[in-house]
Amino acid sequence: MTGSGEEIELFLAGLPEARQAEARELRAALEAAAGQPARLWRGGILGVGDLHYRYESGREGDTFVVGFAPRTAALVFYGLFPAHRPEEEPLLERLGPHRLGKGCLYVTRLDRVDRAVLTQLIEKAARAAA
């Protein structure tokens, strides 16, 4: 399920002030990278693009190409690493404090990472899926 621009604004308004500013900045970065508006997905994730997936089991669905969730403990990025690509290692080394989960990148605060590197990662993910 996706939400409209109005729903996104309501969602952002409900975040703590510091997270609101970060989320607005990241929303703009996503939209610029993808060339399309972000949508609000279930679970409080802002995402851009459309990706249809199908597992070997036959299960299938639709999701975003790249997105993020402004959680209390961290900003969680999805879709930046569709497959482990060694060429991203130098970018991750320059990014700043982060941790990787299964398919996710966690950043505690936006002001602690190199925004230009994060933008590069977002742009690469958006291009790879185009």
Domains of the chain: 2-129 (3.90.1150.200)
Instruction: Report the pLDDT value the prediction gives residue 38, as an integer from 0 to 100.
Output: 94
Question: Band of the pLDDT at 2, cuts 50, 70, 90?
Answer: low
Instruction: Report the pLDDT value the prediction gives residue 85, as an integer from 0 to 100.
Output: 67
pLDDT above 60 (res 25): yes
Instruction: Report the pLDDT value the prediction gives residue 129, as an integer from 0 to 100.
Output: 61
Q: What is the pLDDT of residues 71-129, one digit of tens each?
A: 999 999 998 875 556 777 888 999 999 999 888 999 999 999 999 999 999 998 888 76
Burial profile 29-58: b = 16 or more Cβ within 10 angstroms, e = fewer: bbeebbeeebbbbeebbbbbbeeeeeeeee
CA max distance for the chain? 43
Residue 75 identity: L
Q: What is the pLDDT of residues 27-85, one digit of tens each?
A: 999 999 999 999 999 999 999 988 888 999 999 988 899 999 999 999 999 988 755 56
